[in-house]
Amino acid sequence: MIVMKFGGTSVANCEAITRAIEIIRGRLQEKPVVVVSALSKVTDLLYKLSDAAASKDTAEVDNLLGQLRARHITLAQELMKESPELCMTACEKVNVICDKLTAFVNAVCALGELSDRSKAVIISNGEYLSSNIICHAMNARGIMTGYMDARDMIITSRDYLKGEPVSDEIASRTPGIVEKAFKGNDAVITQGFVSATADGEPTVLGRGGSDYSASLIGMAIDASRIEIWTDVDGVRTADPRRVKNTKCLDRISFEEAAEMAHFGAKVLHPLTIEPAVKKNIPLYVLNSMNPEGKGTAILQSSFIEDGVKSISCKENINVINIFSTKMINVSGFLKKVFEIFSENKVSVDLISTSEANISVTVDSSQDIGKVVRQLSEFADVIVDNDKSQISVIGKNIVNLKGMLKNTFAPLRDCKIYMISQGASYVNISFVIDKSALDTVMQEIHHYLFETKE
């Protein structure tokens, strides 16, 4: 069995879905388990819908619900012109989902109060709509396809908007459900992103979580391969929207891919690699607009050569500098500091320490007010705003001659606020002013990938 995940842009409209279905048709011998995202921009619309409901903006609620229904009905009709019966059942299903959502959202609107649980219910509808339509469209095109509800398989903690997967539950439930859905069918389909607690309460895996769903299912069924179908030719040396002359990478290691995802590359959801590593399942990032392309293979490290693979960045970060002479020769200081981060659920990216100073970076979307107040009770704290972080990623990069020179040469005139190098030899990261980011990224890319020494 293989898992094939199609992201929002790969199922955006009739043309894209038709292309996706033909890609699936080419792999029927391998028993594809298809995982789909919502149509592109639909999850954004559903977030807006929840906000509109919470603020009792009934006009906006009606407008968004209208758009949602119309887009999916039109899509179903376009996709199944030649199969009126399947088209009718698909449209009925769309209407049932939209009617239920309308009733739910109206109730939220009446209360003017939106819990995380209710929000999880609302934002998961995009995947239910897309998976239903695509399932019908596959059957209409002669691929017998079984439908599965991801909530029966992807079990998480009670964090409604960012459920933590419970691997044991997922592993024990999924294979049976998949096997049953395959009975008499060529393929099976389910929703990405959508999950539930063990007692059936609705949760989701967080933004971009469909990749994660695919790899959790892959792990549970021991898939021979996980394919992530998206709208780019694979993982690149840098984000092409930011840097010119980037190149596609043929193969990278699980570790490199994990670092890239954590450090700003937007190709994969950061947690996607983890389940695949557990079972050593190769992952492929492929372009549904260019299905003949090789894409990027993400494999075990022993198949991967040493060297710099990519540079990625996080544009908006803050650096928190913590100074205290009390930490010199005292044990337990770090624990005290990081307990404060953990209690306030603020996640830290880079850390660097010296005798009397700890510097950490945090994504600027996080509220650090409480952390700073609590730290200030026993240390001097200075926060540097408007910073960006650049990470150079590659297997064994510190062993490479000239690597540091090439990385830091473009930084001659630039202030570096912090440097951090993992013991893993996979990543060197540093922090610069946000205003310098684009120029520095382009120059480092040039030195590392465009010139040969």
Binding site for ligand ASP (CB under 6 A): 7-8, 37-38, 43, 126, 192-193, 207-210
Q: Which does 117 bind (CB under 5 to 8 A by kind): ligand ASP, Mg ion, none?
A: none
Minimum gap (Å) between residue 54 Cβ and ligand ASP: 19
Minimum gap (Å) between residue 156 Cβ and ligand ASP: 14
Please report which residue ranges of 231-382 form alpha helices under DSSP H.
254-262, 273-279, 333-343, 369-376
Strands (E), 171-306: 187-191, 194-196, 202-204, 225-230, 251-253, 283-287, 296-299
Minimum gap (Å) between residue 33 Cβ and ligand ASP: 16
Minimum gap (Å) between residue 65 Cβ and ligand ASP: 18
- Measured from the Cβ of residue 66, the count of other Cβ atoms closer than 10 Å reads 12
Q: Which does 209 bind (CB under 5 to 8 A by kind): ligand ASP, Mg ion, none?
A: ligand ASP
Nearer Cβ to Mg ion (32/208):
208
Q: Name the 3-class secondary structure at 453.
A: coil
What Å distances lie between residue 222 and 31, 168, 227, 370, CA to CA? 12, 14, 14, 43
Q: Which does 270 bind (CB under 5 to 8 A by kind): ligand ASP, Mg ion, none?
A: none
Q: Which does 275 bind (CB under 5 to 8 A by kind): ligand ASP, Mg ion, none?
A: none
Minimum gap (Å) between residue 350 Cβ and Mg ion: 25
* Residue ranges in 2-31 that form contacts with Mg ion under rule CB under 5 A: 7
* Residue ranges in 239-258 that form contacts with Mg ion under rule CB under 5 A: none
Q: What are residue 354's DSSP bridge partners?
A: 357
Q: Give every strand in the sheet of 32-36, ordered side by side.
A: 145-147, 187-191, 32-36, 2-6, 225-230, 283-287, 296-299, 251-253
Nearer Cβ to ligand ASP (134/358):
134
433-443 burial code (b ≥16 CB/10 A, e <16): ebebbeebbbb
Minimum gap (Å) between residue 8 Cβ and ligand ASP: 5
Nearer Cβ to Mg ion (38/426):
38
The residue type of 263 is: F
Instruction: Please give the Cα distance from 399 to 404 (Å, whole number).
Output: 10
8 Å CB contact between 61 and 111: no
Nearer Cβ to ligand ASP (195/246):
195
* 251 labelled ligand-binding: no
Q: What are residue 188's DSSP bridge partners?
A: 33, 146
Q: Which does 234 bind (CB under 5 to 8 A by kind): Mg ion, ligand ASP, none?
A: none
Q: 118 Cβ partners below 8 Å, 6+ apart?
A: 50, 104, 108
The residue type of 16 is: A
Nearer Cβ to Mg ion (13/58):
13
Asked if 208 is part of the footprint of Mg ion (rule: CB under 5 A), the reply reads: yes
- Count interface residues toward Mg ion (CB under 5 A): 2
Q: Which does 192 bind (CB under 5 to 8 A by kind): Mg ion, ligand ASP, none?
A: ligand ASP
Nearer Cβ to ligand ASP (161/414):
161
Instruction: Please give the Cα distance from 82 to 251 (Å, whole number).
Output: 41
* 338 labelled ligand-binding: no
* 402 labelled ligand-binding: no
Minimum gap (Å) between residue 211 Cβ and ligand ASP: 6
What residues make contact with Mg ion under the rule CB under 5 A? 7, 208
Binding residues: 5-8, 43, 127, 230-231, 241, 266-267
Binding residues for substrate: 43, 127
